[in-house]
Every structure is written in structure tokens, then in C-alpha cells.
Amino acid sequence: MTTAGLVAGFAPVVVAGAAVLSGLAVGYVASLPLSRVMRRKRLEFSWWIKPRVDASGSAQAPRRPDEPVALRVTLRNPTDETLRFSTPRLALSPGLRYTREGGARVEVPPRSLVAFDLEVSAAYAGRHVLHGAWMSLSGPLGVVWVPLYFPSPLVLEVQPRGAGGLAGAQARTRNLPSAVRTGKATRRAGEGPELRELRDHQPGDPYRRIAWGPSARRGKLLVRETEDESQTTRCLVVDASATMRGDDSGRARLDYVIEVAAQAARAAQSAGDRLGLWAFDRRVVSAVAAGDGSQHLRALVQSAIELRGLVDEDLTDLDDEGLIETVARYFREQEGVDVFRGARAYEARERILRLIERSAGADPAMRVAVRATEHTARVMRAFCRARAITLPLKVDPSGEAKMRGLVEALGAAMEGAREPRTLLVLSDLDQVGSEYASLRKALGVAKMKRHRVSMVVPVGDDFMPRVKRSLAGEAREAAEAVRSLLLAEEQSRVEGLRGVLGKLGVPLLTVRAGDGFARILRVTAARR
């Protein structure tokens, strides 16, 4: 307005423009003390996860994926002025997303406290972290906004949906006879010699169970349902490699495997069976020996959940220099501390160790063992797991590393077994190489020891990342075409593996996201 008025020689426009500029200048000058006020009289920010309680006032079950999590946020204004803030923008770890946001502005009167709620949800089971919150403080007239960041990490543990009932299992079994509580021989439906009942044939029933004589007399197919008194031992051999992961929307194959492991633990608890879990990548990364009881099954489910946070040196594609930069960037963004400023390399490492001790020294996740050559690297990798900082995993295009891990896990699952076991391999079988000599040998040992091995492969549209909604026109058509090609390539690869494994006497079952552990057992038993 001022420039246009001067060019046109119109004094009222020049005066109006000068008045606006003067108002902006006055608002800016009046806003300058905000920084001093914030340093001298600190604004207090606190938040916590609101507990869920039932009608009786007792705590409810653990958090599950996609369930809303309510956060209570409080702001205390220690100054003598009214402070106006924007709604907090949360710094969330991958897998967390907003469910419900607050209003557009938060106004805190002088020397008072204001509380409000936000909601987030987790896309998958595992450890999630809310690192902090960004807010903007408005100056007089709303001309100036001062950005503020409140670093206050908040850990959210989310359990699989299928783990429902495990948390209270110990209390329910406390008064049962020892033979039932520890999973000793119990009479139930199975493949024993004693006839339990004759029932109508259902799709998926094994061919050998058909009762031909009674079927001929009644004019319809009947199946013998028998009883056994043996305790079943099942072993889950889980693929935790990079190809089992994907986006953070909860659609990764590993998320499905974790849910299946939780359902298997609940089924083992109900039937008194024994269950073990061996996870592999380039090697066996987690091993839970076959056992029973509520405490053992809860530990098994927790071990499956922790597969999302692999940070070992030999598994991740990140050297020491990249690791230091990753952790240093976290503290630079989280707490505004530049560990490299005016420091040598070894001094920067010492600064990082002190910051980690101050920030997460009491976190139980820091005490979980980590494979690394140096103490500093072990501490930093443990910190990445505690703060849910994802480290990229190594990928071997030749498939030799993954095949080696699979064979090692099969051997570990069979080691020391005195009874025939049921081994369920949950893997996408992607990048396992084309040399099957070692796998053929391992499966031969399993057959000789009367173990039953089945391959369960999660495939299909459910596990493929979706095309972004923001894409349109030719870009969307191209993305859809690439997605279709990937699905067709995956289907062709799985069919080829089905023929190879069939020659080795191992059935291959493809599953979708909605297929639970019960269906896996039913179908693998029918194809055995």
C-alpha cells in the first residue's frame, strides 16, 4: 500500500500503509520479551497415557493395535500474562498415528493450568514411543509465533490381538491339577486309536479318516474323530528378515506372523500343548525352547514382538559412523544438543553415552543383550531399540544368508527332541536362493526323526503396500501396474517353490491376512 501510494501520489494510501507497517512493528517489538519470559519462567508441559478402566474401576487388558489411546496433556503458565498456543503436533515413532486431534488453539490464563486430551493409535504390536510435542506460542496481536519443542519421551507397549487371555491365564490355572497346568497328557480330539465319535465329513478333513463302512450304510461320508493322550509339541520357525517387513501401516508379513504366534500361544494354553519359537534372519536371532505354562507362553509372545526391533551389528546395514550420526541426529532434533560442536570424535562418543544414560538409563529395554564389537556401539544400538529408532536390515540378493538362517533354525527346533514335533515355518521364502542341498538335508533329518514340517507363506494383496491416495492420473495407473506385476511375480515364485517342496514331502500353504492359526492347523493337517 505504501509503495503503490507513493507511485500514484495518493497520500491516504501511503498513510494507511504506514499505519499497517507501524502496527506490525509494534507487535513485533512487543513480542520480543517472549523468549526471555520462557527462559526465566519456564512453561511446564506434561503428558501421560490415560489408563483404561472397566465399570468396576479395575485396569483392563493391554493395548491392542488400532485401538485408540487417550493422552492427557497439561500446560502450566507461570507468568502473569495469558499465553496462546497452537495445538501440539506430536513427534511419533513409526507405526503411531493420530486418531483425534485437539482444537485449533490452546489459551492458558496467567498462573493457571490447562488440560486437554489427544488420541493416537498403533498400527501394529510392538514398542512405540511418543518422543515429544511441538507447539507455537503466539505474541501480542498474533503477529509473531515462537516455535517451542517439549522433549518428553513416552513409551507405549502394544500387544497382539491374538494374545487376549494370556495375561490372566496364570490366575485361571492356579487351582487346576498339576498334570493339566503343566500340560501333561490330556484326553482330547486327535489322531489316537480310541474312537471318540462319527461325524459328517467337512472340507479339509484328511482322506484317511473317512469311515467307509458306516458311510456306505448311511449313504453319506462320515469321518472318525479319535482321541489321544499325547501332548503335542509345536515349533514356530519364523522369518524375521528384511523381506518380511514393509511399511508401518500394520500390513507387513512380520506383523501377521506376530499375530499368529500370539494365537498359537493361546491355543497351546487351552489344549495344554507345548510351544516353541525360533526366529531367523542370517542366523537364529531368537530362540524360545518348547515349553508350556502361562509364563512361558507370555515370554514367547514377547519374544515374537521384539523381532520388530532388531538392532544387532551383524544384522543391520549400518556401520559405526552411520550409527553415531543416527543417534546424534536424534539428540540434535530431540533436545537441541549438537554432540559434534567443538568436540573430537572420541569426545562426541562420550557425550552421546552421557546423554543416553540421562535419557534412557532406567529403561528395561537398555538391559536386553545386543550383539556388537564395541561397548559404545552396544549402548547406542540398545538406545535405538529403546526409542523405537528403526535401523535398516541387511539384504543378501543371492539368498545364501537367508537359506543358512532357515536351515539353522530348523536344526535348532529339532535339537534334543525326544518326541515327534510339528514344525510350522512362517516365511515369505523370498530370497532363499536356488540351492536346496542344505534344506533338503535338514528336511531329511526331520523326516527321519518323524517330525512334521509345513511351510506357511503369507502372500497376496493383503501384504502389498497400497497405492497412495494422493496419486492420480497416469502416476496412479503406473503405480497400480507395478503393483500388479509384483503380485504376479510373487505368485509365480511361490508356485515354483510349491513344486520343489512337494518333491521333498513338505506341503506349502499360502495364507492371507485374515487366516488365523486355527485355519493353518486345519489345512496343514489335511495336506500332510
Residue 147 counted as domain residue? yes
204 φψ region: left (φ > 0), alpha (ψ -120 to 50), beta (else): left
The three cell numbers locating residue 508: 506349502
What is the longest distance spanned by two Cα atoms in the chain? 111
Residue 100's pLDDT is what?
Answer: 64
DSSP strands (E only) in 209-311: 222-228, 233-239, 274-280, 284-291
Residue 8's pLDDT is what?
Answer: 84
Are 246 and 252 in contact by the 8 Å Cβ rule? The answer is yes
Could you write out the DSSP letters of every residue in 100-166?
E---SEEEE-TTEEEEEEEEEEESSSEEEEEEEEEEEEE-GGG--EEEEEEEEEEEEEE--GGGTTT
Whichever domain contains 124, its CATH number is 2.60.40.10
Pair (297, 402) in one structural domain: yes
Pair (349, 452) in one structural domain: no
Residue 223's pLDDT is what?
Answer: 83
Q: Are strands 89-92 and 96-100 parallel, antiparallel or unpaired?
A: unpaired
CA 116 – CA 106 distance, rounded (Å): 9
Pair (472, 439) in one structural domain: yes
* Number of compact structural domains in the chain: 4
- Among 447, 393, 443, 396, CA closest to 420: 447
Residue 182 counted as domain residue? no
Are 52 and 119 in contact by the 8 Å Cβ rule? The answer is no
- Among 368, 500, 419, CA closest to 235: 419
Pair (425, 379) in one structural domain: no
Are 236 and 277 in contact by the 8 Å Cβ rule? The answer is yes
Specify the 3-state DSSP secondary structure of 284.
strand
Pair (260, 240) in one structural domain: yes
Residue 171's pLDDT is what?
Answer: 34
Q: Beta-carbon neighbour count of residue 111 at 10 Å? A: 12
Residue 90 counted as domain residue? yes
| Average of per-residue pLDDT values in the chain | 84
Q: Which pLDDT tens digit goes with each residue over 241-251?
A: 999 987 788 88
Helical axes 253-271 vs 294-305, angle rounded to 10°: 180
Pair (67, 134) in one structural domain: yes
Residue 411 counted as domain residue? yes
Whichever domain contains 281, its CATH number is 3.40.50.410
Pair (418, 514) in one structural domain: yes
Name 362's bridge partners: none
| Final residue in a domain of this structure, among 95, 126, 158 | 158
CA 172 – CA 272 distance, rounded (Å): 13
CA 468 – CA 223 distance, rounded (Å): 49
Residue 420 counted as domain residue? yes
| Final residue in a domain of this structure, among 333, 356, 386 | 386
Q: Beta-carbon neighbour count of residue 255 at 10 Å? A: 26
Pair (471, 416) in one structural domain: yes
Residue 204 counted as domain residue? no
- 29 Cα distance to chain centroid: 49
58 φψ region: left (φ > 0), alpha (ψ -120 to 50), beta (else): beta
pTM: predicted TM-score of the whole model, two decimal places? 0.81
Of the chain, the end-to-end C-alpha distance in Å amounts to: 84
Pair (132, 281) in one structural domain: no
- Among 279, 315, 281, 271, CA closest to 300: 279
Q: Beta-carbon neighbour count of residue 342 at 10 Å? A: 7
The DSSP output letter for 514 is T
Sheet holding 188-190, edge to edge: 188-190, 222-228, 194-200
Pair (463, 505) in one structural domain: yes
Residue 193 counted as domain residue? no
For residue 150, give its domain range: 32-158
- 196 Cα distance to chain centroid: 42
- 121 Cα distance to chain centroid: 12
Are 201 and 208 in contact by the 8 Å Cβ rule? The answer is no
- What does each C-alpha distance from 45 to 150, 206, 387, 411, 458 come to in angstroms? 7, 63, 20, 53, 44
Q: Beta-carbon neighbour count of residue 13 at 10 Å? A: 17
Q: Which pLDDT tens digit goes with each residue over 43-55?
A: 888 899 988 765 5
Contacts 24+ apart (CB under 8 A), 356-363: 356/327, 356/380, 356/383, 359/153, 359/331, 359/335, 359/383, 360/153, 360/386, 360/387, 363/155
- The runs of H, that is alpha helices, within 361-436 are 375-386, 400-414
Pair (252, 139) in one structural domain: no
Pair (43, 150) in one structural domain: yes
Residue 467's pLDDT is what?
Answer: 79
Specify the 3-state DSSP secondary structure of 431.
coil
Residue 180's pLDDT is what?
Answer: 32
Are 423 and 446 in contact by the 8 Å Cβ rule? The answer is yes
Q: Which pLDDT tens digit goes with each residue over 115-125?
A: 988 899 999 99
Element (H, E) at 188: strand 188-190
Are 211 and 245 in contact by the 8 Å Cβ rule? The answer is no
Q: What is the CA radius of gyration of the chain?
A: 30
Residue 329 counted as domain residue? yes
Residue 409's pLDDT is what?
Answer: 95
Which residue numbers in the chain have pLDDT < 50?
Answer: 168-193, 229
Residue 187's pLDDT is what?
Answer: 43
| Final residue in a domain of this structure, among 99, 132, 158 | 158
- Among 455, 457, 458, 448, CA closest to 527: 455
CA 325 – CA 340 distance, rounded (Å): 10
